[in-house]
Structure 1
């Protein structure tokens, strides 16, 4: 499993997607989620370096060809005889450039931190390679000196020390090559299950040196994170009629379904059904069969699907036309939400008193975007790369909120402002001045990677706000902002649409699992150069915005 979260103070956020045929109405404004313009669309021709929407057949063909050519590609880019490439994803630009993302194996073992992206011109010429590590993959022996049992014991002990309950390894430790930090070594990866201290499922990944027994790395795989909705008013939902009932099943967006866990903490749950296709009441209820939370989750899923498809030409999180699914009413008084790769689903708790479900629009966009990061750059959920992972979800969750153009939840640069996790009406995070939450970093420093990823994310969130909107005081959709800079510089933003395009291209074509803040600066400059030209206003503003958050 690999879930991701959006919370500080043991609180998080989650993901979903939608499917169907019939429409649903409730109270307030009616908002369709599919008639939105493409970000940055002004009637101009598409950017040559912008991604295009691939059909299932086109994507499958590109992946099949890349895998068939993988041995030759490995030799061409200088990999050793024991190394093999496994295609993970393919992105194609309007000008025909193809970016193929690979995982790597060595002597049949997965290489963690060995991922790379090969850039190929429309004529098939290799133009460059983006690598998670420049180190040659080679180890002296493939025979461990410590037992798998010792590695497992270490991992379980670490999980228990962090407050995990019902703690056991999900499976026997697997042998891997750890290449994410320094010299590659033979290692064990152990995944510990059970539950974290706040009730979130536990998926603690622990990497142990198979020669010395030293712990090399650990990260949490679960990232925390409609109808008549609680947060978005009355909206149009895409549902499916089955006999005399309707299902929260959206066949128009990859088959997204919304399930009711009814306070359970495992399983898929029961698909929501209704007799009249009007879902929820628009008010909170502590009932475990309440449809309002389900309506919010389904709406968030369909808007997020449309955002990625219409703005970036991406056909679902995995870019394969298949939707994730959503689960609501997880646990009892569970103040969290999370994304999990293993179920490919988003899960939402109902909050304090079971009356504040974490199903707001930016939360849905945030959690689904953890899935996007997992299936693209795969940013490790720890250190600076973990902060970038969290910031990516905040950035795209914000993009989803603006894209929806919903009068009940206008777009803003506040994260989780609707769900009141803090209990005092304040947002979870602020992008214009992250430190306003009392813990997040406004600027980069050498120790920023030691912070919780929900706080180290502030550096990238601040960068994105400056890039999009600029520095100083302003009011957007009724919200006042006042964004400072590290060096006292004044930044004029290039607009949210362009900023989103730059971040998406950087994530999908220039970032890898080990990218840190310095690497993110390089990746976004590369993306800006490809999209708008080296030396363009957009390129120069990217550079200035990073400098303004002390990333040079």
Structure 2
């Protein structure tokens, strides 16, 4: 059991995590407005003919633009579907990459020719539709896939259209048919089938309608009344968010939360759903912050959502992230009625996963302090991003939990030593402190870089941040400070980075983002000196 002062620990950060260097800022997708995107798609469409010629496609083949991405350095990635003799080609999609220097490469769904042996079907569209509908009727009473309810009925024969099937085997002329029906639990079914146009052989089928997303409301212990994206199965709502990588929340036994009316919790800790509302909402806002601010899709950057577990243990006064289960866990605190599901805790814990999947900062010594301060920094940024009326954003860590029993927060970013143990400034022995206290140097740096030194009031909270050298510092704003820290974490920091190396990493990040003569670069240098890291 960790002490109260160490409650925001990462409990199971696995050693030896594989480190994958992030791409440079110039190679990352550049945010584009709707009109810019439309213009880019139009450009891709205009270039489809020349791209087809460049790829050596035949005169029968045409490219139809589907998507376009442009990197900050100007590299383009145009995604196309393909037609053959005017027919859609299933398996004909490809992506044409053009580097900033004009080098072209391509990724194809399939290699080789997509030309079928014939364009004359032996079966009529009506025959194909009847064959496909019969195949679907054979599924009535059984589940097509393990995670689907059994098919209860089929509405009638679908309509078949000709396509070229090139996704597997020898390219051939085929029919694509959509057959609609109803699952046993009331969920609509829309089966898409591909059948050989000569023999009627079933080449492919899949259900187009998955369990749907719904918008519910919840009242959390800390977050108040919030909107939740949930999953409707046709008979019940699940606390699962398919729009954010499928992330979900379970109880202490691992059971997914479900609800009949999509109204969750009542704000009281005695209601088991209330803590689950906080956890699910906190995970959603953490996802949104990383995705919308830093372009990161999920903790690993792979679009996969983590899951949350609430009501862990008994009288468990802690919360932790575990790489092993790719999940975060919350205890219910003293008396099992004080859950640790505040939003800055959610952001803090999930950030341990981000750190593990990027720099992999060792959880000891100065690198351990940087690991903890990274979680405090982005936990704070998630709190500011959410901007909840029930949890006014601040630079205090765990202030809603009252784990000290006197209304004070766990940690203070403006003057970390106010907690009685954390370090305001670097010293040669700072790495010997518990990582939750050596983190004070990084926390103090971030506050000073964001807001500057001296006395001020922000969102009704009074701060008074000193510097080790007496310098008066002017902040650059928390958003810029966070972008600098994120780039340093994902591009330059390694598992053994200490505070001196963190200074170098953030200076490099400031150059990348704002230039070597920028005010931001100078502020980073001056702020590190202000916490005695030179």
TM tier, shorter chain? 0.5 to 0.7
The answer for the alignment partner of 1:255 in structure 2 is: 246
Instruction: Compute the displacement of 1:244 (Å).
Output: 2.0
CA contact (8 A) 1:422 1:428 kept: yes
Is 1:276 matched with 2:261?
Answer: yes
The answer for the alignment partner of 2:526 in structure 1 is: 544
SS class of match (1:298)? helix
The answer for the alignment partner of 2:505 in structure 1 is: 523
The answer for the alignment partner of 2:336 in structure 1 is: 354
Equivalent residue pairs, number? 349
The answer for the alignment partner of 2:229 in structure 1 is: 238
Instruction: Compute the displacement of 1:6 (Å).
Output: 9.7
Among 229, 236, 252, the alignment partner of 2:220 is 229
CA contact (8 A) 1:349 1:358 kept: yes
SS class of match (1:238)? strand
2: CA distance, partners of 1:492 / 1:11: 32
2: CA distance, partners of 1:426 / 1:527: 34
The answer for the alignment partner of 2:73 in structure 1 is: 95
The answer for the alignment partner of 1:387 in structure 2 is: 369
Instruction: Compute the displacement of 1:425 (Å).
Output: 1.0
CA contact (8 A) 1:14 1:348 kept: no
Report the RMSD for the aligned CA atoms in angstroms. Answer: 2.5
Change (3 A) 1:334 1:499: same
The answer for the alignment partner of 1:418 in structure 2 is: 400
Among 491, 514, 520, the alignment partner of 1:509 is 491
Q: Which fold has the larger relative contact order, with Cα–Cα distance below 8 Å and residues 6 or more apart in sequence?
A: 1
The answer for the alignment partner of 2:418 in structure 1 is: 436
CA contact (8 A) 2:4 2:404 kept: no
CA contact (8 A) 1:53 1:313 kept: no
Deviations 1:159-189 (A, max 9, x none): xxxxxxxxxxxxxxxxxxxxxxxxxxxxxxx
The answer for the alignment partner of 2:5 in structure 1 is: 9
The answer for the alignment partner of 1:396 in structure 2 is: 378
More strand by share: 2
Unaligned runs of 5+ residues in structure 1 are 16-46, 55-91, 98-120, 126-225, 263-268
Change (3 A) 1:538 1:296: same
Change (3 A) 1:305 1:470: same
Deviations 1:322-345 (A, max 9, x none): 011000010000000100001000
1: CA distance, partners of 2:102 / 2:300: 24
SS class of match (1:445)? coil
Change (3 A) 1:51 1:430: farther
The answer for the alignment partner of 1:472 in structure 2 is: 454
Instruction: Compute the displacement of 1:483 (Å).
Output: 0.2
The structure that has the greater radius of gyration is 2
Change (3 A) 1:6 1:375: farther
SS class of match (2:232)? strand
Instruction: Compute the displacement of 1:424 (Å).
Output: 1.3
Instruction: Compute the displacement of 1:363 (Å).
Output: 0.2
2: CA distance, partners of 1:386 / 1:48: 26
SS class of match (1:527)? helix
SS class of match (1:362)? helix
Deviations 1:279-310 (A, max 9, x none): 1111221x6xx100000000000000000000
Change (3 A) 1:376 1:549: same
Deviations 1:358-404 (A, max 9, x none): 11000000000000000000000000000000000000000000011
2: CA distance, partners of 1:384 / 1:485: 20
CA contact (8 A) 1:14 1:368 kept: no
2: CA distance, partners of 1:433 / 1:370: 23
Change (3 A) 1:366 1:393: same
2: CA distance, partners of 1:500 / 1:295: 27
